[in-house]
A and B are shown apart, each in its own frame.
Chain A
Amino acid sequence: MLKHLVDELIPGDTRWPAASDVGVHGVVMLRLFSGQPSRILEQLSTSLDRSSDGLPGTANRAAIVQRFSDTQPALFEQIYTAAVLAYYEMPAVIEAIRASGRPYHASSHEVGYAMPVFDLERDTPRHGRGSYLRTEEVAPLDLSSLDLDAVKTTKWGLER
């Protein structure tokens, strides 16, 4: 049911398997829909099936998925996140990560990663920076310049 969709989301190439090659569609179906697709998904699947050019990544299919993401953003988010997490837990994908040169284990908790131990001689910081106020050094500050009551910050965070 989700086969075409997951391949649009994560297509394969020479180094990476396509999502459906490693069974992502089945995992997503079970995790999100307990194997019971909704009507919306059935419709989506039918339109992807029928799209004339057939291959993943082609304009028709990408447009259908884009429309799905625009009209059903919450459902799309759910499916995309589940597909990505499922994809990167698959043994063939982990192999592809390792083939790209990065150390990576499926179950790193079991095997861990080798790292050189902290060498006190070599690794102790030598910058000499840092200070703190001792208990008896903490003294009243003049806050008058702050105007915390009068001046209100309206733009804060990313909109600052």
Chain B
Amino acid sequence: MSRQQVCDILIVGAGATGSLAALVLAQAGLDVVCLEQGSWVNAADRPHRLADWSWQRRTGWNPDVNKREHADDYPVNSDSSQILMWNAVGGSTNVYGGLWPRYRPSDFRKGTEHGLQPDWPITYEDISPFYELADKIIGVSGLSGDRAMPPRERCPTRPLPVSAVARRLSAGFDELDWHWWPVEASVISEDYDGRPGCNNCGVCNGCPRGSMNEFATSIWPKAIRAGCDLRTQARVLKIEKGADGRATGVHYVDRKTGQVLFQKARIVVVAANGVGTPRLLLASENLANGNDQVGRNLLHHTLVASEMWVNGPIDGHVGFAASLISREFAETDISRGFVNGFNLNCVTSTPSAGELAAGWFSSARAPWGTHHHQWFEKHFGHSIGVFAIGDDLPNPENRVTLDTTRTDSDGMPGAKVQYVPGENDKRMMNYMLDRLKDLAQACGAVEYRLQDYRDQAGVYRTPAWHMLGTCRMGKNPENSVVNGWAQSWEVPNLFIVDGSVLTTGGTVNPTPTISALALRTAGYIRDNFASLSTA
């Protein structure tokens, strides 16, 4: 398509959700253009096969935008959280962990339950078929039959192998009489859709083998074959709005040539993630923000963790990064002193001996000097990490704004991120830490350390791999940015499909829900294209 022509659908961002929207809409025969500021990530450039991969994970491949230097990034000035993301085709899934749990019905009904968060405009039942669809497209491993969740179809592939860590933890959970279940993962346990089953290597931040679903390798080739015009190194600077209040297209810079171009579009779909999307809308002369909601109510999840060491080797460096999930505390129980719930996301251990010795989940690490090896021998192959991850309450002051002091290489303002946990979140984190302690004791840990992600000054610096809520969907145009179809209240041909539309954060990793919503929205645009694309 000529760049002067109007395309049917213009997608901003080629990450997880941009790829799914492109697939659905291109397969429907629409003219789809996707603009991605980053490049393709070649499997050969990935650190996984290199001897120094542990070092690379802390430097050039660090998921924290502020701890690496990469030409495709934009500045994110955070007063607290560690901003974890990747800007490239496939987006943050180039470095993600592949845990793939679903939200639960009550996550969509927090307004009804306690009113400190709004209800979603949709219910679990609305999204449920799209969870199933996402799982089939993506290739997921897991086990149906969990009584702590609504029934689900059989997973496309069986659960990943049970690790020695999982056995140890499940014995601890049984001792406590707490729920546990094999974790669902966007990692295939058997060959699926032309990709090889997982080889249990443990290096699960992205997966150049293709066993973990990376949207760049499993979704994008199909979307391109279906006709999507994916332009890389194409940074969108501004979404343009016409006099009729509809989006007309986007100005973007072709970073290969430095030329600024305009791409006209009938419908604009933003998929730039929970930081990139509000940044772009705010930079587009405050687009879709008449109610001052864009960028507000940033959610990351409440997060604390523990690292425990047990007697007897359990080789946590072997196998998929996660082992079990416990949904024992997922629903609100007021007697705990707070609203909302949390889950225990049990991982295994770091796959890297060096990472374990240098300090992994907690402040524990091998001492320097004569006791170094003694520590290593006692701890390597004996360690287990557990996250407690909970539903944080929205706070309008936790937000993404434009950073007026820094611009990216194309002159677009950077993003500024503010996040402070609230009273309910703090109470929940205290409770979570106590439960992590219970679990360590029940697992017979000979040693354990808790992690609250606070620095020496007490600032909560959570590893923020979840960027949610900043353009949330709602029933009410006054306190939300998009409606139940992820359509802007103000700009009718503008849709947002990334994690920013989540109304609440739930108690689990969000990408299955984000993906299901993106598929649902894309299907809606496809089915109603004629009416949505005309004034």
Contact = CB atoms under 8 A, between A and B. Distances in A.
Contacts, number: 237
Interface string A83-124: 011111100011001001111111111111111111010011
Given A84-B358, A123-B159, A135-B125, A97 B148 contact: no
B202 A108 contact: yes
Nearest to B164: A115
Contacts of B104: 132-133
Interface stretch (A33-41, A43-51, A136-144): A136-144
B334 A139 contact: no
A88 B353 contact: yes
A139 B113 contact: yes
B332 A15 contact: no
Contacts of B143: 118, 120, 124
Nearest to B113: A138
B67 interface: no
A112 B351 CA distance: 11
Nearest to A151: B423
B450 to A, nearest CB: 6
Interface stretch (B171-179, B260-268, B404-412, B495-503): B171-179
B458 to A, nearest CB: 8
Contacts of B48: 107, 109
A94 B146 CA distance: 40
B394 interface: no
Given A87-B354, A102-B381, A116 B161 contact: yes
B397 interface: no
B177 A135 contact: no
Nearest to B162: A123
A118 B158 contact: yes
A84 B113 CA distance: 50
A142 B334 CA distance: 8
Nearest to B365: A84
Contacts of B331: 131-133
Contacts of A100: 377
Given A88-B354, A129-B177, A156-B430, A111 B114 contact: no
Interface stretch (B34-42, B310-318, B472-480): B310-318
A124 to B, nearest CB: 7
A59 to B, nearest CB: 11
B182 A138 contact: no
Contact of A146 (B50, B105, B174, B334): B334
Residue of A103, A138, A145 ringed by the most chain B CB atoms within 10 A: A138
A91 to B, nearest CB: 8
B38 to A, nearest CB: 23
A84 B357 contact: yes
A65 interface: yes
B111 to A, nearest CB: 10
A143 B114 contact: yes
A118 B320 CA distance: 13
A15 B373 contact: yes
Contacts of B200: 112-115
Interface residues of A, number: 73
Contacts of A109: 48-49, 53, 199, 201, 203, 208-209
A8 B358 CA distance: 16
A84 B366 contact: yes
A85 B327 CA distance: 35
Contact of A135 (B108, B115, B359): B108
B423 A117 contact: no
A89 B179 contact: no
A120 B158 contact: yes
A104 B170 CA distance: 24
A22 B337 CA distance: 54
Residue of B104, B150, B162, B365 ringed by the most chain A CB atoms within 10 A: B162
Given A87-B354, A157-B304, A82 B55 contact: yes
Given A10-B372, A160-B433, A111 B199 contact: yes
A157 B51 CA distance: 37
B366 A132 contact: no
A85 B55 contact: yes
Contacts of A74: none
Given A118-B158, A127-B180, A89 B54 contact: yes
24 contacts: A9-B369, A16-B373, A85-B58, A85-B354, A86-B52, A89-B51, A100-B377, A107-B51, A108-B317, A109-B53, A113-B199, A115-B319, A118-B162, A129-B178, A132-B148, A133-B104, A140-B113, A140-B115, A143-B114, A146-B334, A157-B433, A157-B453, A157-B454, A158-B452
Interface of A: 8-11, 13, 15-16, 31, 57, 62, 65, 69, 80-82, 84-89, 93-94, 97, 100-118, 120, 123-125, 127-135, 138-143, 145-146, 148-149, 151-153, 156-158, 160
Interface of B: 48-55, 58, 104-106, 108-109, 112-116, 123-125, 143, 145-150, 158-163, 170, 174, 177-182, 189, 198-203, 208-209, 304, 313, 315, 317-319, 327-328, 330-332, 334, 337-339, 351-355, 357-359, 365-366, 368-370, 372-373, 377, 380-381, 423-424, 426-427, 429-430, 433, 450, 452-454, 460
